[in-house]
Amino acid sequence: MKIKIGSSEFKNPIFAASGTFGYGEEFSRIIDINKLGAIVTKAVTLKPRKGNEGLRIAETPAGMINRIGLENVGLDAFINEKLKFLSSLKTGIIINIAGETKNEYVALAKVLGGLAGIHALEVNVSCPNVEKGGIEFSQDLIQFKELIKAVRKATEMPLIVKLSPSAGDILTFAKLARDEGVDAITVSNTFKASLIDTKSQKIYIQGGLSGPAIFPLALSNVIQVCKNIDIPVIASGGIHSVDTALQFFIAGAKAVQIGTFNFIQPDIALQIIKGITTFMREKKLSSINQIIGSLP
């Protein structure tokens, strides 16, 4: 089940998605997280962030909307308090980085890209650029390209870009990222979503939708991107079973990330690893690569 992204090798292609696994500590108390292919950490920003005020999550049919606001301990505390535990694990460690300016991303990439025990960086581009009037890096082709170019220059560590599905044509962004030399792209982040409170007639919540509800939407994007791009695609969005993970692999994803369903079923990643092993044995396949991209 081994796969490679850039120069890093992962023992299997089942990862935990950013923001749904913290820095690993909580889940390590109830499951053997060393079995995962990799953990993508909660986003790390240069300075600590308090996150959003008010309601942060809401349940929708087979989904969840969140607006956490990238609450995290910041780079220094991450290195001093969280990295030691992560480095002690026998699983791949991918650090998700986020910033408010291009320079913040570059600073994060320079520091984290030079540390041992980290196998890749994943760039979260769904953040408002405060220097460009708060338009998300993921929404504007020019600032997206400049950001990726700068981060790529800042580090030689394997670099993944996590795309937003709410920025128009996801393929255009995927091609831009590829042209700037990233090692893989994650398709994709949450879908922009809202709920209105009919009693007050005001917005109840506005954030990103995740969970089983988005699986077919994410799959459609993964199919499109995999057909047209030759660098590794990491699929993420609504995985809730062995079958949904397999669909992503058949579509061409080299790895998958499990997100919200970790909350519902904390051992879902382990069940999927087991299920795919069984699937491969039954089909007499010796490598996961025989499944990846098998869609005609």
Partner 1 sequence: MERKIFFEKARLKENRKIGHNFYLLKFITSVNPVVISPGQFVDLRIRDNHDPLLRRPFSIFNYEKGIMSVLYKIQGRGTGMLSSLKKGDMIDYIGPLGNGFHPFKIGKTLSVAGGIGMAGLFYLQKIFNSIPLLIGLNEKSDALALLDLLKESRIQQNRVHIAVMEKTPEFFTGTATDLLQTFLKRTKYDLILSCGPEAMMHSVYKIAVKKNIATQFLLERIMGCGMGVCQGCTVKVKEKGRLNNKLVCKDGPVFSGEEIVWT
Q: Quick check: 68 binds partner 1 (CB under 8 A)? A: yes
Stretch that binds partner 1, among 82-90, 144-152, 168-176, 256-264 (CB under 8 A): 256-264
Q: Quick check: 32 binds partner 1 (CB under 8 A)? A: no
Decide: helix, strand or coil at residue 14: strand
Catalytic pick from 58, 127, 147, 246? 127
To partner 1, the closest distance from the beta carbon of 49 in angstroms equals 10
> Which residues within the stretch 259-288 sit at the binding site for partner 1 (CB under 8 A)?
260, 262-267
Among 27, 144, 173, 191, contact with partner 1 (rule: CB under 8 A): 27
Please work out the total of residues on this chain that contact partner 1, with binding judged by CB under 8 A.
36
Tokens 């954030």 locate to 207
Q: Quick check: 173 binds partner 1 (CB under 8 A)? A: no
Q: Write out 107-148 in H/E/C secondary structure.
A: HHHHHHCCCCCCCEEEEECCCEEHHHCCEEHHHCHHHHHHHH
* Closer by beta carbon to partner 1, 147 or else 268: 268
* Closer by beta carbon to partner 1, 44 or else 292: 44
To partner 1, the closest distance from the beta carbon of 25 in angstroms equals 9
Q: Quick check: 53 binds partner 1 (CB under 8 A)? A: yes
Degrees, nearest 5: CA angle 201-213-276:
160
Cα 93 to Cα 121: distance, rounded to the nearest angstrom: 9
253: nearest Cα among 15, 11, 7, 8: 15
Q: Is 226 a catalytic residue?
A: no
Tokens 């349940």 locate to 59
* Closer by beta carbon to partner 1, 110 or else 274: 274
Q: What is the sign, positive or negative, of the torsion defined by CA atoms of 58, 99, 126, 249? A: negative
Q: Quick check: 48 binds partner 1 (CB under 8 A)? A: no
Q: Quick check: 296 binds partner 1 (CB under 8 A)? A: no
Burial 105-128 (b: 16+ CB within 10 A, else e): bbbbbebbbeeeebbbbbbbbbbe
Give the chain's end-to-end CA distance (angstroms, integer): 22
Stretch that binds partner 1, among 4-12, 64-72, 91-99, 277-285 (CB under 8 A): 64-72
* Closer by beta carbon to partner 1, 196 or else 264: 264
Cα 296 to Cα 131: distance, rounded to the nearest angstrom: 44
Do the beta carbons of residue 82 and residue 73 sit within 8 Å? yes
* Closer by beta carbon to partner 1, 61 or else 133: 61
Catalytically active residues, by annotation: 127
**Interface ranges with partner 1 (CB under 8 A):** 19-22, 26-27, 29-31, 50-51, 53, 55-64, 66, 68, 71, 211-213, 240, 260, 262-267
